[in-house]
Amino acid sequence: MSLAVVGTDTGIGKTVVTAGLVSSFRESGYDARAIKPAQTAFPEDDDAAYVAAACGEESAAVRLRSRPEPLAPAVAARRADDPISYESLLADTREALAESEVGIVEGAGGLRVPLSNEPRREIVDLVADLSVSAVVVARSGLGTLNHTALTVEALRRRDVPVEGVVLNQYDGETVAERTNPDELERMCSCPVWTVPTVELEVPRDATALTEHLPEPSALR
């Protein structure tokens, strides 16, 4: 099984949700692994290391490309004079998926983030070319309806099945938060799950999200 975790923006909790999903699959007896095709702001940011720490197993995550500046992968690669080849990255991601019983690919930022330089491709291109389904991670509060619906629409235009939407850092403190889940289900015609805030500095806390995320059997 293969799955992509994509977001409506950067810094919204894709890595935490990825860690929760990988942990859930592993607890269910699957050899699950997170795959981070392109990591920027490295080594200060290391999403694969976070997932591995959350799951307590180094084998729970792999990072394929990294660049030091906190920019879109293609931009960071160009500034480092070290272009990312899309065909090479696509091949390596496919290989990593083939080596995993359950492979969960984590995107970078939103769908239209530039991913590679040769040729120019974006995150949405990789997800579509991998022929995987997607889980969309979005903010919980005011403003998320538009961003989330546009992201789901963009995926479906590329024939990417959408498993559902995860509203991250959901506390239900505002009217917008409380009404957004039902409204998004109507707008996007897919399940919407809500997960509470966890401490990002404590990776093991990410595994506590499993009770708020879909059961592995509910994902294709």
**Residues 57-84: tens digit of each pLDDT:** 999 999 999 999 999 999 999 999 999 9
Tell me whether the omega of the peptide bond preceding residue 43 falls within 30 degrees of 0, making it cis: yes
Find all residues with CB under 8 Å of 105, minimum gap 6, and list them: 2, 3, 4, 5, 34, 35, 36, 37, 93, 97, 126, 127, 130, 132
Is 182 marked as binding a ligand?
no
What residues are labeled active site? 36
Class of domain 2-218: alpha beta
Residue 1 binned pLDDT confidence (cut-offs 50, 70, 90): confident
Contact indicator for 5, 106 with CB cutoff of 8 Å: yes
Find all residues with CB under 8 Å of 103, minimum gap 6, and list them: 1, 2, 3, 32, 33, 35, 96, 97
Alpha-carbon distance of 130 to 91, in angstroms, equals 9
Is 127 marked as binding a ligand?
no
Given a cut of 80, whether residue 139 has pLDDT beyond it is: yes
Residue ranges of domains in the chain:
2-218
Is 114 marked as binding a ligand?
no
User: In the structure encoding, which two tokens stand for residue 83, read together?
Assistant: 């272009």
Q: What is the pTM of this model?
A: 0.96
* Token pair 């970078």 in the structure block, residue: 108
* Residues 100-138: tens digit of each pLDDT: 999 999 999 999 999 998 899 999 999 999 999 999 999
